[in-house]
Structure 1
Amino acid sequence: MTTSKHFTWMHIGAGSFHRAHQAWYLHRLLVQGDRRWSIALGNIRDDANQLLDILAAQKGEYALETVTPAGERSYEKITSIRKIIPWDEPLSALVGQGADEETRVISFTVTEGGYYLDTHFRLDQSNADLQADLKGGARTIYGTIARILQTRRSQDTGGVTLLSCDNVRHNGERFRDGLTEFLTLRGERDLLAWFKTNTTTPNTMVDRITPRPAADIAGRVKEKLGMDDRAPVMGESFIQWVVEDNFIAGRPALENVGVEMVGSVVPYEEAKIRILNASHSCIAWAGTLIGQSYIHESTGTDDIRRMAHDYVTQDVIPSLMPSPLDLAQYRDVVLDRFSNPYIRDTNQRVAADGFSKIPGMITPTLIECYRRGQQPKATAVLPALFFIFMRRWHDGELPYDYQDGILDAAATHAMFKSADPVALYARDAKLFGPLASDKDFEKLLRETITRLDAWVLAKAPRVTAQ
């Protein structure tokens, strides 16, 4: 890390979060005068081509607007993305950059569904994209990274750190296990051996609420920075990044810009995933059901805030103790952040990917409560809300398009058409693991759904619960 040579940090996933989070940290290094690292940005799918074209025209530069809970806005031109990788169907440009000797870190933000894991953390081989990649394709992170690593191996360009930057628990370990299984299924024994000795996959915890940019942000950016920016991003003022310090081929001096480089991220990620992420989804599902559009609006609704507060206080905090963090204080900070009226984060954005969030963020707390001999009444509210939310989806009555990377639409519609949808839902092992065969859990879930149906009807009487 002390050499003057220039290195590339390649990021896969051209969404707002990367540009408001990791790119911001590397930009701060540039501002400090450390110019050894810059970002090359690309995408696996073709759904970000317009954004990539805009960023290419802007030479990778864009504005970041941040806003505090008190409404104080700040503006900064982000300059750490120095190369935009054009998308092509075989991903030749992405693979070429990933295999380049100067590329020493490859990070990615694929979210929960992008790991294609079941509740036993094995690859869900029924997924069509994963099936295609097992036959040599590059539609998923596994097929794409396999293609990059094969090229690095053949060109002898050395080891590389593969860095997950999303909300999946133990994300580095999950990715490593997933890619190991993927290469094993493909019979890639030589590449698997190379992967095991020439890469590291640190665990990380990332945090910054990054809503879709408001329609009027471009005008504010023009006024404050003089930029005609067609790709601005916005985020809350709060930011955190905790990274396991395990980089095989060097890394930026991230500790100089506030990144917490640690031996283990487990206490941080458990608190963040269970307290922040799960509560966020709880608020989004509940708010949607009573006709609300924004997270701050729903967090400010007493009943909904109480659901999230009780879930954390009664079930999560006992599950995470002992902890080096003040979990009650963390809970309060999180709820205050969600209450920020200036972020205008949508329930639609946060409500997405529930079929991955239930097993990843919520079921562990359910299981641990039962292990302690406690009935998880407060936690059961979350999957109950999701059931009612998806029933609304089934009936075509959601006010927006629901997005979920692993949604099996046909199976979900069939569940709600069955004689007892709650039974099928409660017995879904992909969602609830060992609790899927637990009659007490099914009874609790049924009672909670009935109670919340009445709550929804009382709060939004014009919407008839089924």
Structure 2
Amino acid sequence: MNKTHNSASSIWLHIGSGSFHRAHQAWYLHRLLIQGDDRWSIALGNIREDGVPVLNALAAQEGKYVLETVTPQGERAYEMITSIQKIIPWDNELAALVAQGADPQTKVISFTVTEGGYYLDNQFNLDQQNADVQADIHGGCRTIYGAIAHILARRIEQKGGDVTLLNCDNLRHNGERFRNGLLQFLALRQQKDVIAWVKNHTRSPNTMVDRITPRPSPEVAMRVEAATGFKDRAPVMGEAFIQWVVEDDFIAGRPALEDVGVEMVGSVLPYEEAKIRILNASHSCIAWAGTLLGQSFIDVSTRTENICRMAWDYVTEDVIPSLSPSPLDLASYRDVVLERFSNPHIQDTNQRVAADGFSKIPGFITPTLQECYQRGQTPRATAMLPALFFVYMQQWHLSRLPYEYQDGILDAAAVHALFDSADPLGRFATDEKLFASLAAKSEFTDLMRQSVARVNQWLSDAKRA
């Protein structure tokens, strides 16, 4: 464990130019700069070409942008974030990103690629059949594994020294699981020298990140300009609440994150379990249910009594017993989460939160299903969540969703084939990638049939009301 801080200027390379990093990790490092600690700055890059407009906008603003935050009471605050001091231009081979990652000044490489961006199966092993993973095994750099493999190979070649690889996504045991995926990827590429170097010269702490950060609407830029006078081409907005819990296991130094409210801990396990199961799973439940009722925004759906009750029952009946005893007050955490989701000023969309369901079910929901059965309890409240997703995807199959569903691991042909089959729900409930060991249980399939019937009845009643 290395708690020391570097006296020379150090670079924190972040991969993923989306809103979340800029509302979260970049904010914390900005707070350090305000305190006069300028030993670290961020270099920002992207793996995919779709991030180019944001990178270009930030480059034109020398990395600066305004973060708007809003409380549940509607109090807005504006802050110019200055911690991103280098913008890495995107190119097809990621040459500039690889060069920055290999630079000895780069001591931390972090990333936000969403749950689907780790390409893990239900056993949390690398999904070797995925087309992007296959392309990277053969030398490409479409995935976080391909990008990091290229960076580390160059770093070894240039004697760039030790580096910490830091996940900033809602993936349980994210550091361990990314590291396992990376080592499997390197083994498939037969890069034995890189594997040995990773084991000896890198660390991958587990983390838990939390701040609701919707995709910015055009109104954010208008409010930013009205409040600050700055015509921002890349503003970000998020809720006022923020939390970051990080295992203190850095190999090449780190910023003094504890000075700006980051919780540096020995283990993130109780924090991440509460967050993933209570916040993330409830968020998805509300987004799927709200979409099915024709609603666009999370706050509207959370304030819809029977949707909120579904999420409340899920946490109260199944999650709290699964996570008890806990160092956290789980009932209080549940209530704070639902209050945050109800914030009408965030304008977070059901479309954003409903995304990546095929990763979220095995990651956020199946563990609670399994633990309920292990306790001898039928998880009726939890089963409503995959039932909602089934009906939601049925609407997608019929082209009846009001927006485009986004999912990093969606196999569109396979999902259409499932719904065209004689027993779609039977095939869904017995999918090991989604439900692991429960896929073999007839009682679980029966429960899913009952739960989908309950969802359809609920929708029917809601439309009549």
Structure 2 length as normaliser, TM-score?
A: 0.98
1: distance between equivalents of 2:180 and 2:340? 34
Query: Which amino acid in 1 is paired with 2:307?
Result: I
Please point out which of 278, 300, 304 is paired with 2:281: 278
**Residues 44-81 of structure 1, C-alpha deviations (whole Å, 9 max, x = no match):** 01001111101000000000000000000000000000
Note if 1:28 corresponds to 2:6. no
Aligned length: 462
1:34-433 superposed matches below 5 A? 34-433=37-436
**Percent identity of the aligned residues?**
69
Query: Which amino acid in 1 is paired with 2:354?
Result: A
In the TM superposition, residue 2 of structure 1 has moved relative to its aligned partner by 4.6
Unpaired runs of 5+ in structure 2?
none
1: distance between equivalents of 2:373 and 2:82? 49
CA contact (8 A) 1:291 1:460 kept: no
1: distance between equivalents of 2:183 and 2:464? 51
**Residues 125-183 of structure 1, C-alpha deviations (whole Å, 9 max, x = no match):** 11000001111111100011011000110110101000000100000000010011111
**Residues 211-261 of structure 1, C-alpha deviations (whole Å, 9 max, x = no match):** 112322222212222211011000000000000000000000000000000
Q: Secondary structure at the match of 1:216?
A: helix
Query: Which amino acid in 2 is paired with 1:164?
Result: N
2: distance between equivalents of 1:449 and 1:218? 42
Query: Which amino acid in 2 is paired with 1:204?
Result: T
2: distance between equivalents of 1:95 and 1:88? 11
Q: 1:2 to 1:252 in 2, by over 3 A?
A: closer
Q: Secondary structure at the match of 1:60?
A: coil
In the TM superposition, residue 461 of structure 1 has moved relative to its aligned partner by 5.2
CA contact (8 A) 2:5 2:256 kept: no
Unpaired runs of 5+ in structure 1?
none
CA contact (8 A) 2:391 2:452 kept: yes
Q: Secondary structure at the match of 2:253?
A: coil
Query: Which amino acid in 1 is paired with 2:448?
Result: L
1: distance between equivalents of 2:53 and 2:115? 24
2: distance between equivalents of 1:212 and 1:147? 30
In the TM superposition, residue 459 of structure 1 has moved relative to its aligned partner by 1.5
Query: Which amino acid in 1 is paired with 2:421?
Result: S
1: distance between equivalents of 2:220 and 2:423? 47
CA contact (8 A) 1:163 1:202 kept: yes
Structure 1 length as normaliser, TM-score?
A: 0.98
Q: Secondary structure at the match of 2:77?
A: strand
Q: Secondary structure at the match of 2:241?
A: coil
CA contact (8 A) 2:6 2:253 kept: no
Query: Which amino acid in 2 is paired with 1:395?
Result: L
The RMSD of aligned alpha carbons is: 0.9
Q: 1:392 to 1:2 in 2, by over 3 A?
A: closer
Name 1:10's counterpart in structure 2: 13
2: distance between equivalents of 1:328 and 1:69? 19
1: distance between equivalents of 2:110 and 2:95? 18
Q: Secondary structure at the match of 1:235?
A: strand
**Residues 447-466 of structure 1, C-alpha deviations (whole Å, 9 max, x = no match):** 1101111111222359xxxx
Q: Secondary structure at the match of 1:460?
A: helix
2: distance between equivalents of 1:257 and 1:226? 27
Q: 1:415 to 1:3 in 2, by over 3 A?
A: closer
Q: Secondary structure at the match of 2:438?
A: helix
1: distance between equivalents of 2:285 and 2:454? 16
**Residues 275-297 of structure 1, C-alpha deviations (whole Å, 9 max, x = no match):** 00000000000000011110000
**Residues 80-139 of structure 1, C-alpha deviations (whole Å, 9 max, x = no match):** 000000000110000000000100000001111111111011111110000011111111
Q: Secondary structure at the match of 2:218?
A: coil
